[in-house]
Amino acid sequence: MPESLVRLRRVAAACACAAWLASGAARAELAAALAQTRAAQPNLLQLRDEDRFLSGVDDAALEQLIARVAAGEWDPATEAAVWVVLEGFSRNQGPSAAYGRNLTSQIAGSAAASGDLETLRGMARILGRFLADQSHGYSLLAQGLLSEKIRCGAASLGDDALVQRIAADVNPDRERGLAGTDGTVADRFGLHARADLFAVAARGERVVAAGYFGTVLVSQDGGASWDAPDTGTDEPMYAVALGPGDELWAAGRAGVVLRSEDGGRSFARRATPFDRHVFGLLAGGPGEVLAVGDYGLQLASDDGGAHWTCIPREQDVILGRIAHAGPDAVVAGEFGTLERLPQGRPPGRRATLAGVPEDFYVFDTWFDAEGRVGVAVGLSGAIVRSEDGGANWTRVPAPFSADLFGVGGSGARVVVAGEGGFLAVSDDAGRTFRAAEAPALPVTLTDVEFADAERAYAVGPRGLVLRSDDGGARFRAVRGADGS
């Protein structure tokens, strides 16, 4: 379990928590599950006030419960315990509720990876209870976990009935096949027009941003106007890249890769041999692309995605964004991963990092045109810099601590972006940074990219696109909040 989650659990267990049980029939059903859990696992729950408050859980007992889910050892007692624990945290406030959300996602992921149909079905029942009550604190979370993790697990095990049931539960207003949720969150809650954006690419007047619900936004006039073409998928898009000419690529959840040959006016899906999430794309010559992502995924195509080559690696780390570095490329990822890829193809040469923890999560990297000077960013405001093509990196002193998710640049200008609407700019190729001028938006900026020496773009939630016309010194909204 990640150390951050362990810390959050300790804070949550120390909290005085709010009233737990619901009312009416739901309360009676939950009370029965609570009694069953106390009888079967007497050490799991820390209760007070006649069983109506959850003040914490026993770490060892909870680990055993999660291990049972991961191993596919599902039975009525396990289902009752999982429901009681998650429901208990969902009724709390502050750190305890935040921990509960992380725990819900973790257990859903364990169920999806268990390879056991009964475990999947049981977890789907629990999430279905949350989803059915739209006032529930985890209702939206349950919708996402059902439509992504549990649906994916059910499809991989051939349980078409469960896939169809999840599709109907998540969006009862539409009939769909088994290919995906087909925009259910957008249809149900009306979010598609302002879908969260995770990645941006820009060159000249063309700007492309990608995000939730299969959204790919395309501007041919520097962000003055935007088109949202039908991409044929509702899966979240986490990466976007510009190829030569009018070639565009976008990719995201469950191995979905899209290609456009007409500048983003239309897209075609390019089937990949794995359903692992794609977080980074590197476009080369015509039809050439490298896709990287979850569990060390590395897929390359030289024919526009008609065929793919899987490139194995020893470490199954999560790989993220890829930056051109002269004739090569550099890929970033978890556990301090920064690897230079000769000619833009794995296997890569792992770098040495100084001044950051060994498990430093690197989200993005940028290199100058020669591929010599690079800047990479990650958690807790960490910025590292290389002057030898990415072989060695040292931390750059910076007076801020916001998590950083994006970096882009042109020449000596470099911009970093992150949580809380944070933007900082460097005039000396990343040696020093100062805060950029930007709208006061308490949102997370997920990516930043330069179209040329002067124009830069940053993206974030609810369709937000910011633009700078002076090399990153000042940004203004050109879409969303409220650039319209």
Task: Confirm if 484 and 235 have CB atoms less than 8 A apart.
Answer: no
What is d(CA 239, CA 261) in angstroms, rounded to the nearest whole number?
17
Same domain, 15 and 119: yes
Q: Is the pLDDT of residue 111 over 60?
A: yes
Q: What local confidence, expressed as pLDDT, does residue 481 receive? A: 66
Q: Is the pLDDT of residue 27 over 70?
A: yes
Instruction: Assess if residue 87 is contained within a domain.
Output: yes
Task: Confirm if 180 and 235 have CB atoms less than 8 A apart.
Answer: yes
Residues 39-48, mean pLDDT to the nearest whole number: 83
Domain boundary among 189, 204, 235: 189
- Give the model's confidence band at 189: pLDDT under 50 very low, under 70 low, under 90 confident, else very high: very low
Same domain, 109 and 124: yes
Q: What is the mean pLDDT of the chain?
A: 84
Q: What local confidence, expressed as pLDDT, does residue 341 receive? A: 95
Same domain, 332 and 252: yes
* pTM for the structure as a whole: 0.63
Q: Is the pLDDT of residue 456 over 50?
A: yes
Q: Is the pLDDT of residue 161 over 60?
A: yes
Same domain, 177 and 226: no
Residues 323-340, mean pLDDT to the nearest whole number: 95
Same domain, 78 and 203: no
Q: What local confidence, expressed as pLDDT, does residue 457 receive? A: 97
The pLDDT tens digits for 419-455 are 999 999 999 999 999 999 998 888 899 999 999 999 9
Q: What local confidence, expressed as pLDDT, does residue 25 receive? A: 60
The pLDDT tens digits for 220-261 are 999 999 999 988 888 899 999 999 999 999 999 888 999 999
What is d(CA 357, CA 154) in angstroms, rounded to the nearest whole number?
38
Q: What local confidence, expressed as pLDDT, does residue 113 receive? A: 77
Q: Domains in the chain: how many in total? A: 2
Please give the torsion angle defined by the CA atoms of residues 131, 172, 174 and 125, in that order, rounded to the nearest 10 degrees: 60
Domain boundary among 139, 160, 189: 189
Q: What local confidence, expressed as pLDDT, does residue 114 receive? A: 85
Phi, psi angle pair for 409, to nearest 5° = -170, 175
- Give the model's confidence band at 155: pLDDT under 50 very low, under 70 low, under 90 confident, else very high: low
Same domain, 172 and 277: no
Same domain, 209 and 339: yes
Residues 461-466, mean pLDDT to the nearest whole number: 92
What is d(CA 314, CA 327) in angstroms, rounded to the nearest whole number?
24
Quick one: tokens of 477? 């909204």
Q: What local confidence, expressed as pLDDT, does residue 156 receive? A: 61
Pick the residue with more confidence: 57 or 481?
Answer: 57
Domain that holds residue 76: 3-189
SS (H, E, C) the chain: CCHHHHHHHHHHHCCCCCECCCCHHHHHHHHHHHHHHHHHCCCCEEEECCCCEEEEECHHHHHHHHHHHHCCCCCHHHHHHHHHHHHHHHCCCCHHHHHHHHHHHHHHHHHHHCCCHHHHHHHHHHHHHHHHCCCCCCHHHHHHHHHHHHHHHHHHCCCHHHHHHHHHHHCCCCCCCCCCCCCHHHHHHCCHHHCCEEEEEEECCEEEEEEHHHCEEEECCCCCCCECCCCCCCCCEEEEEECCCCCEEEEEHHHCEEEECCCCCCCEECCCCCCCCEEEEEECCCCCEEEEEHHHCEEEECCCCCCCEECCCCCCCCEEEEEEECCEEEEEECCCEEEEEHHHCCCCEECEEECCCCCCCEEEEEECCCCCCEEEEEHHHCEEEECCCCCEEEECCCCCCCCEEEEEEECCEEEEEEHHHCEEEECCCCCCCEECECCCCCCCCCEEEECCCCCEEEECCCCCEEEECCCCCECEEEECCCCC
Instruction: Assess if residue 295 is contained within a domain.
Output: yes
Instruction: Assess if residue 249 is contained within a domain.
Output: yes
> What number of CA atoms fall less than 13 Å from residue 66's CA on the CB side?
19
Q: How far are the Cα atoms of 99, 119, 176, 344, 449 from residue 321, in angstroms, in the given order?
A: 28, 34, 33, 13, 12
Q: What local confidence, expressed as pLDDT, does residue 373 receive? A: 96
What is d(CA 353, CA 368) in angstroms, rounded to the nearest whole number?
19
The pLDDT tens digits for 362-374 are 999 999 999 999 9
Quick count: other Cβ atoms within 10 Å of Cβ 193?
Answer: 12
What is d(CA 169, CA 127) in angstroms, rounded to the nearest whole number?
10
Instruction: Assess if residue 332 is contained within a domain.
Output: yes
- The sign of the CA dihedral 69, 73, 74, 79 is negative
| CATH classification at residue 222 | 2.130.10.10
Quick one: tokens of 60? 């060892």
- Cis peptide leading into 347, omega within 30 of 0? yes
Instruction: Assess if residue 232 is contained within a domain.
Output: yes
Q: What local confidence, expressed as pLDDT, does residue 12 receive? A: 41
Q: What local confidence, expressed as pLDDT, does residue 175 receive? A: 36
The pLDDT tens digits for 62-104 are 999 999 999 999 999 999 999 999 988 887 766 777 788 889 9
Same domain, 306 and 242: yes
Instruction: Assess if residue 484 is contained within a domain.
Output: no
Largest CA distance in the chain: 69
Same domain, 211 and 135: no
In the sheet that 328-333 helps form, which strands lie side by side, from edge to edge?
319-325, 328-333, 337-341, 349-350
Residues 156-164, mean pLDDT to the nearest whole number: 78
Burial environment of residue 131 by CB neighbours within 10 A (0 to 12, 13 to 18, 19 or more): buried
Q: Is the pLDDT of residue 47 over 90?
A: no
Instruction: Assess if residue 228 is contained within a domain.
Output: yes
User: For residue 83, which of 124, 137, 52 has the smallest C-alpha distance?
Assistant: 124
Q: What local confidence, expressed as pLDDT, does residue 304 receive? A: 94
Residues 272-288, mean pLDDT to the nearest whole number: 89
Same domain, 222 and 352: yes
Instruction: Assess if residue 472 is contained within a domain.
Output: yes
Same domain, 459 and 348: yes
What is d(CA 216, CA 107) in angstroms, rounded to the nearest whole number?
31
Domain boundary among 134, 154, 189: 189
When mean pLDDT is compared over 57-71, 148-162, 470-484, the highest value belongs to 57-71
- Give the model's confidence band at 411: pLDDT under 50 very low, under 70 low, under 90 confident, else very high: very high
Q: What local confidence, expressed as pLDDT, does residue 93 receive? A: 67
Q: Is the pLDDT of residue 345 over 70?
A: yes
- Give the model's confidence band at 195: pLDDT under 50 very low, under 70 low, under 90 confident, else very high: confident
Q: What local confidence, expressed as pLDDT, does residue 131 receive? A: 87
> Do the bridges between strand 337-341 and strand 349-350 make them parallel or antiparallel, or are there none, so unpaired?
antiparallel
Same domain, 232 and 170: no
